A and B are shown apart, each in its own frame.
Chain A
């Protein structure tokens, strides 16, 4: 017995070493595969965007933004985002509040409906608005009689963008608010706070990081949306072309520098969004 015990011990002692060696091999293998994949699928195209944009030098790159149509496209995209994101933030807050705080009939239907824009193809989302507000749509005749244009105009673009981006804030807030529960709000109420005060002093600070994250995602999608907007915009240069649409047109006209210059701007906006998101996540974690 006394002789057997140390042998068993050494056997046991060696095993963790082998384990670690194999473990690190597997780890490096996985990291290598991921990085290669990332480089091929993500970094290469990104690099291409900037390489093509600066193909004719910085002068040509800057000149392409001087084009009035390009400037109009940038303006349109920013205007759309500026209108759509706040509206969807309000909606997202309201929906998340309703779902997390109250029990009501049709709650699960509401949750499913919020996800709908994520599930259906953006082209279909655009078509819906054409079918509703287009010349031959349900409200088409009425709209023409009152000289209102929605399709192939700014309102149509905003509606389509709003439709496509409305899940983002709500989706971010619902699980967060459900997890945080009602106790703090109830405490505030028993301490004498009213509805608005409870919301601004207790609920909003509690969910602010989730909210910012949702807004950032919503904004990224609002600026980058192509499919739905393409259907409703009508591609009128200088009027109803957003940045993604304008890029396609420039590209089809073999204006590669122009196309990729705008694309690089869009990429930079997306990158900025991601930076904001990362900062938010870090701050959020530090606060916990």
Chain B
């Protein structure tokens, strides 16, 4: 491995800007770190270069631990967005700088310089000053300068940011060519997904300081695992669907899933439909793909090669639900069509069309949507507007449904509920909350979020499970929640008091197992803590230790649930997400 990052964390003023990033980049690989501005990608690159230190974790280059090695001794080449050429030196002096530092003889320096200028196609410009060159030429000089001392790793920090489209294209090709020719391991940071696709062997996508997913461009595009990656890599329609053994049921229509998995538990899922995988036709029969819904075209935008449509889905109980919660996007589906498709069937605003879907990808995320549940319609409405719940829904690009249960929390109410609970059920934190939670869990709610009235967006998420059967589900839910928060994850292992002296290794092993499963199966990096005593009081005490914390707790057993959780839930100040995996 050329570059190995192990749980790298960098904080500014207490908040993590790079959060537990682990990554291996192979020899000669072209790796692109992609993310929106402020996602921590540049900070991570600077940490690899040694220009900024890390608060936690290790960085190794070619197997050599360089975490505490000075930037000048790391042997990396770095290219900056604004070129950072030495303005008072000529092109030749700029390129020879690293060689001069290493006391190379003038003749050898000149030879190496000419070699590099040929590589970046700038022969004959040796005596120019940077100010006399165009932006594209300056960046070529910067690349040559960064390669002069034959670094083992080349790092590029948004190198094309300041260039116009055509030059950018040209320089991209040059850099890719140089990289292939030298076989040098390269990391490029960018916020431009097109650039990432064009250059990368592998892409790693960052958001909120976390490395969310990585993989080959095509895999990431067609099979993203998270909402963020699905919507950041190109446009995507997120649709709330039901996974059934036959396929993906959206509204009344079932579309065969790309990946069939028989015998799967029926549940709500988030489906990704790319705009180019949507087909429109005059009628259901004219569709060549699976029928999805009917809709009315309300916007047609011609963008050159492609035509972009917005189609508003027709209302009705059978209509599929779009997952985006906000604004106009909530009811309109994005469609792109090629010239060929346009010629086959012309559309204009106001036209009613049948919509078909060629390909559906289901996100593996366990959290699909929220349902605000309370005893009356007015209370559900208040609950749905609680800041934390609303913020989570926006961040997760999902919607909040309302559900009034007049009997909610009434002890031994024999009544069954009318319809199954879907997605994550949210209730308000109040007195008697533990009873309400148990009431809902006994009637089929799987994931239950208890929302206090005034809770800030959490900065730390504590994770615990009671019973090994809930472990995998709790980790999956935690990983999904944490992708949308700039928070650190802490697994709190709790053992009964009397085992404190008896089996300390047993506790440690459990912590390590939990950590490695979180990392391997869910891409979740978490710290671990060990405590002794009764579970609920220990968790309550840990929650009270610092502000802005949230608890995710896995439960397999509902006997004595209300008694045990009274202290945690009733009138508590903390958001608690209960993941129940047991027989209802």
A and B interact physically: yes
Task: Decide if B97 touches A190 in the complex (CB within 8 Å).
Answer: no
Task: Decide if B101 touches A192 in the complex (CB within 8 Å).
Answer: yes
Asked if B540 is at the interface (CB within 8 A of a chain A CB), the reply is no
| Interface mask (B86-112 → A, CB under 8 Å = 1, otherwise 0) | 111100000001100110000000000
Q: Which of B70-99 contact A (CB under 8 A)?
A: 71-74, 76-78, 80, 82, 84-89, 97-98
Cβ contacts under 8 Å, B87 to chain A:
184, 206
A182 to chain B, nearest CB (A): 9
Cβ contacts under 8 Å, B162 to chain A:
none
Q: Which residue of A lies closest to B102 (CB)?
A: A192
B459 to chain A, nearest CB (A): 22
A223 to B438, CA, bound (A): 86
A183 to B138, CA, bound (A): 14
A206 to B73, CA, bound (A): 24
Cβ contacts under 8 Å, A183 to chain B:
80, 82, 84
Asked if A191 is at the interface (CB within 8 A of a chain B CB), the reply is yes
Known: A183-B82, A205-B88, A206-B87. A191 touches B51 (CB 8 A): no
B232 to chain A, nearest CB (A): 28
Task: Decide if B72 touches A189 in the complex (CB within 8 Å).
Answer: yes
Q: Is the interface of A mostly helix, strand, loop or mixed?
A: helix
Q: Which residue of A lies closest to B97 (CB)?
A: A191
A283 to chain B, nearest CB (A): 12
Which of B72, B88, B89, B131 is close to A190, meaning CB atoms less than 8 Å apart?
A: B72
Cβ contacts under 8 Å, B460 to chain A:
none
A13 to chain B, nearest CB (A): 37
Size of chain A's interface in residues, with CB distance under 8 A? 18
A188 to B86, CA, bound (A): 9
B49, B51, B145: residue with the most chain A Cβ atoms closer than 10 Å:
B51
A36 to chain B, nearest CB (A): 41
A201 to B86, CA, bound (A): 9
Which of A187, A189, A192, A194 is close to B80, meaning CB atoms less than 8 Å apart?
A: A187
Task: Decide if B149 touches A184 in the complex (CB within 8 Å).
Answer: no
Asked if B148 is at the interface (CB within 8 A of a chain A CB), the reply is yes
Asked if A193 is at the interface (CB within 8 A of a chain B CB), the reply is yes
Cβ contacts under 8 Å, A187 to chain B:
78, 80, 84-86, 142, 145
A193 to B87, CA, bound (A): 17
Asked if A197 is at the interface (CB within 8 A of a chain B CB), the reply is yes
Cβ contacts under 8 Å, A194 to chain B:
72
A194 to B72, CA, bound (A): 7
B289 to chain A, nearest CB (A): 51
A24 to B126, CA, bound (A): 48
Task: Decide if B86 touches A197 in the complex (CB within 8 Å).
Answer: no
Q: Which of B1-52 contact A (CB under 8 A)?
A: 49-51
A141 to chain B, nearest CB (A): 49
Task: Decide if A202 touches B86 in the complex (CB within 8 Å).
Answer: yes
Cβ contacts under 8 Å, A190 to chain B:
49-51, 71-72, 74, 76-78, 146
Q: Which of B130-182 contact A (CB under 8 A)?
A: 131, 142, 145-146, 148-149
| Interface mask (A201-226 → B, CB under 8 Å = 1, otherwise 0) | 11001100000000000000000000
A200 to chain B, nearest CB (A): 12
Task: Decide if B51 touches A186 in the complex (CB within 8 Å).
Answer: yes
A62 to B85, CA, bound (A): 54
Q: Which residue of B lies closest to A190 (CB)?
A: B78
A206 to chain B, nearest CB (A): 7
Task: Decide if B88 touches A287 in the complex (CB within 8 Å).
Answer: yes
Q: Which residue of A lies closest to B142 (CB)?
A: A187
A186 to B50, CA, bound (A): 10
Task: Decide if A191 touches B101 in the complex (CB within 8 Å).
Answer: yes
Known: A183-B82, A197-B101. A189 touches B88 (CB 8 A): no
Asked if A146 is at the interface (CB within 8 A of a chain B CB), the reply is no
Known: A183-B84, A184-B86. A191 touches B145 (CB 8 A): yes
A202 to B89, CA, bound (A): 9
A222 to B230, CA, bound (A): 66
Cβ contacts under 8 Å, B145 to chain A:
187, 191
A2 to B416, CA, bound (A): 82
B421 to chain A, nearest CB (A): 51
Which of A184, A188, A288 is close to B131, meaning CB atoms less than 8 Å apart?
A: A288
Task: Decide if B84 touches A193 in the complex (CB within 8 Å).
Answer: no
A189 to B131, CA, bound (A): 22
Q: Which of A143-198 contact B (CB under 8 A)?
A: 183-184, 186-194, 197
Q: Please list 6 pairs of residues, one from A and one from B, whose beta carbons are closer than 8 Å in the complex, sorted by A's number.
A: A184-B85, A184-B87, A187-B142, A189-B72, A191-B77, A192-B102
Rank and list the top 9 A-B pairs by shortest CB-CB distance, nearest first: A183-B84, A191-B98, A187-B84, A205-B88, A190-B78, A192-B101, A189-B71, A192-B72, A189-B72
- Additional pairs, 4, CB under 8 Å, beyond known A192-B101, A197-B101, A205-B86: A188-B97, A190-B72, A191-B97, A191-B98
